[in-house]
């Protein structure tokens, strides 16, 4: 049965975005069903991060529509935007932890400052979220700068899940990590998405991550979605662009020097 935009968790229709003369998104159409983990793959500079920021409302598209739970979200007031954000959890590429706050305050940030929860209860929930990403209470009073890259990612993941969001976003979750730590992060993401029953949207160019965390895969190239399908089909897509990306071959329709 085909889902309508009213029943989809995220529905993106003909989204365009330019920065000056650089036309980054050129008519993106993408649907994400509730409870599914969608991974958007694509090379550097193809518009993955811009697409993610458009969905999050951090960038306003020039045209097109983005609906969350059937509600258009592209031109909301700050207050309505904040309410929509309450559904979201986001893991940034570099962690984006607040330098001036301790680890537990970072994790509990939404509870403390947006939900108005007391510090004692917020700290308890932060510790519980840190436990879910295999981090112990011994790090809660450290500053983010005292953590390794992998630990920062895990703290970022704990911050994303602490308020039990309906939709989780992951921006290049394994970039800059060694393969073992990357695998740990992938497993944690998969486990937490499943445990929360959340919808997930990730962007990555790490095929290891794709195989671990994706239910569905879409490939973006030159600002358009050129293929989408099930994660199990990504190795047999029949699409020359996807095949080149999956194999990492220099030869194919994607011209590296041209990008």
Partner 1 sequence: MNPLAIIGHAVLTLVREAGAIGLFAWRGVSAILSPPWYGSQLSAQLMRIGYFSLPVVGLTAVFTGAALALNIYTGGARFNAEQFVPNIVVLGITRELGPVLASLMLAGRVSAAMAAEIGAMRVTEQIDALETLSTDPFRFLVGPRILAAIITVPLLVLVADIIGVLGGWAVSTQILGFNGATYIRNTIDFVTRWDVVSGLIKAATFGFIIALMGCYHGYRSKRGAQGVGRATTNAVVSAAILIFAANYVLTTLFV
CB of 163 to partner 1, least distance (A): 9
Give the residue with the Cβ less far from partner 1, 166 or 243. Answer: 166
Q: ∠ CA(218), CA(222), CA(225), 5° rounding?
A: 25
Give the residue with the Cβ less far from partner 1, 86 or 240. Answer: 86
Give the residue with the Cβ less far from partner 1, 7 or 143. Answer: 143
Q: How far apart are the C-alpha atoms of 259 and 116, rounded to whole Å?
A: 46
CB of 87 to partner 1, least distance (A): 10
Q: Is the dihedral of CA 140, 145, 146, 147 positive or negative?
A: positive
CB of 120 to partner 1, least distance (A): 16
- Between strands 199-204 and 10-19, the pairing is unpaired
CB of 53 to partner 1, least distance (A): 7
For 244, phi then psi, to 5°, come to -65, -40
Cross-strand pairs, 71: 68
Give the residue with the Cβ less far from partner 1, 88 or 245. Answer: 88
Give the residue with the Cβ less far from partner 1, 72 or 94. Answer: 94
Q: Is the dihedral of CA 22, 234, 204, 3 positive or negative?
A: positive
Please, are residues 47 and 25 in contact by the beta-carbon 8 Å criterion? yes
The pair of structure tokens assigned to 209 is 């991550």
**Residues near partner 1, by CB under 8 A:** 53, 56-58, 78, 81-83, 85-86, 88-90, 92-94, 96-99, 109-110, 113-114, 159, 169
CB of 178 to partner 1, least distance (A): 21
For 46, phi then psi, to 5°, come to -95, -10
CB of 246 to partner 1, least distance (A): 28
Please, are residues 89 and 39 in contact by the beta-carbon 8 Å criterion? no
Give the residue with the Cβ less far from partner 1, 116 or 136. Answer: 116
Q: ∠ CA(224), CA(222), CA(251), 5° rounding?
A: 120
């Amino acid at each position: 049965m085909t889902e309508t935009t009213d029943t989809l968790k995220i529905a993106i229709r003909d989204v365009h975005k330019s920065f000056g003369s650089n036309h980054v998104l050129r008519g993106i159409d993408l649907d994400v069903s509730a409870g599914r983990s969608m991974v958007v793959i694509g090379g550097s500079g193809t518009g993955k991060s811009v697409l993610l920021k458009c969905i999050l409302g951090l960038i306003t598209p020039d045209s097109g529509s983005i609906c969350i739970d059937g509600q258009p979200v592209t031109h909301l007031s700050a207050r309505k935007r904040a309410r929509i954000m309450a559904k979201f959890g986001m893991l940034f590429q570099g962690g984006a932890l607040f330098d001036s706050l301790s680890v537990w305050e970072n994790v509990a940030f939404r509870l403390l400052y947006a939900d108005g929860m007391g510090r004692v209860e917020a700290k308890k929930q932060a510790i519980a979220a840190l436990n879910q990403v295999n981090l112990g209470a011994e790090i809660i009073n450290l500053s983010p700068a005292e953590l390794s890259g992998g630990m920062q990612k895990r703290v970022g993941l704990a911050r994303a899940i602490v308020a039990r969001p309906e939709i989780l976003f992951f921006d290049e979750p394994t970039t800059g990590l060694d393969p073992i730590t990357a695998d740990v992060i992938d497993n944690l993401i998969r486990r937490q998405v499943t445990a929360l029953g959340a919808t997930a949207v990730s962007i990555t160019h790490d095929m290891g991550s794709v195989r671990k965390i994706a239910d569905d895969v879409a490939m973006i190239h030159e600002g358009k979605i050129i293929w989408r399908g099930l994660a199990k089909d990504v190795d047999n897509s029949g699409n020359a662009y996807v095949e080149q990306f999956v194999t990492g071959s220099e030869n194919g329709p994607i011209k590296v020097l041209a990008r």
